[in-house]
């Protein structure tokens, strides 16, 4: 994935995944499809073929460009499951979606290189790794060999302990330093493009850390790669508003707008329709601002 200038001088996103190409002058939406039983918001919600396919269709009709399938819960304190169990959950759903929606760009949310490899062979197009390639040291070489886009997320600790006591001297600079280090590792395997950076909101961060990162997305973009914001219904909303994830749609939209204004290229969300509306309104606002500046 990379940026190029469009005819109006703005930034254009271009995603190349095998024979599929996705270009956009505006930010994209990645719709979340959790097939876990214990995810923090929608765990156990999609339990059979009918429910899964209905949700996929809804995500696509509402405008998502990418569907992100997760078979392992990574909420704080979530128990780790085996690689075998992860693949047993993922394989039938992945095959079903590839068959029913053959033109859909599919991301798989996994930190295991063997699962990533199997998923791509079954039709997945990109890998979304919460560890940025650190939990499985074979991931950089695997992604390079597969020649697919990779979402490199930052996490401090593991899902089992990440929220026990997150600490940073400077969260923005430390997250950037993590990305620089991982980008160098991936580069050593020939992977210098098709990387998307995700600061990992809620993954080993306090509420204050999360808002510092949100305010500083453009600093992360200075590394030269697209940035994804995954803010949907997270505790940085719920703790401030004193609500539950089920009531956090309005707060999610508010933070998505801030992320877009600060340069986010992709929004990863549970609620696609509202994210698409946020993108449309922010694009209208920014077009108006640019016209006034140029007049």
Q: Residues with catalytic annotation?
A: 234, 268
Phi, psi dihedrals of residue 16, rounded to the nearest 5°: -115, 115
The owner of tokens 């995500």 is 59
Spatial separation of the C-alpha atoms in residues 166 and 154, rounded to whole Å: 13
10, burial (CB in 10 Å: exposed 0-12, middle 13-18, buried 19+): middle
């Amino acid at each position: 994935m990379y940026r190029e200038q469009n005819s109006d001088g703005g930034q254009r996103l271009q995603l190349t995944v095998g024979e599929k190409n996705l270009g956009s002058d505006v930010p994209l939406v990645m719709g979340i499809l959790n097939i876990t039983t214990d995810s923090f918001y929608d765990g156990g919600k999609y339990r059979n073929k009918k429910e899964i396919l209905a949700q996929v269709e809804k995500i696509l009709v509402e405008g998502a460009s990418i569907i992100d399938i997760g078979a392992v819960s990574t909420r704080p304190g979530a128990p780790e499951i085996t690689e075998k169990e992860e693949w047993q959950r993922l394989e039938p759903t992945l095959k079903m979606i590839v068959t029913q929606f053959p033109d859909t760009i599919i991301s798989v949310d996994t930190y295991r290189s063997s699962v990533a490899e199997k998923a791509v062979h079954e039709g997945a197009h990109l890998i979304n790794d919460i560890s940025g390639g650190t939990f499985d040291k074979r991931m950089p070489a695997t992604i390079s060999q597969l020649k697919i886009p990779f979402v490199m997320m930052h996490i401090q600790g593991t899902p089992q302990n990440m929220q026990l006591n997150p600490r940073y001297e400077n969260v923005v600079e430390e997250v950037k330093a993590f990305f620089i280090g991982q980008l160098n590792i991936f580069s050593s395997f020939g992977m210098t493009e098709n990387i998307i950076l995700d600061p990992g909101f809620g993954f080993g961060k306090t509420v204050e850390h999360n808002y510092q990162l949100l305010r500083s997305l453009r600093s992360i973009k200075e590394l030269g790669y697209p940035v994804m914001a995954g803010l949907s219904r997270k505790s940085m909303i719920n703790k401030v508003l004193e609500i539950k994830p089920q009531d956090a749609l309005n707060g999610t939209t508010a933070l998505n707008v801030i992320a877009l204004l600060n340069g986010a290229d992709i929004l990863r969300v549970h609620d696609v329709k509202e994210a698409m509306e946020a993108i449309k309104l922010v694009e209208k606002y920014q077009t108006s601002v640019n016209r006034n500046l140029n007049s």
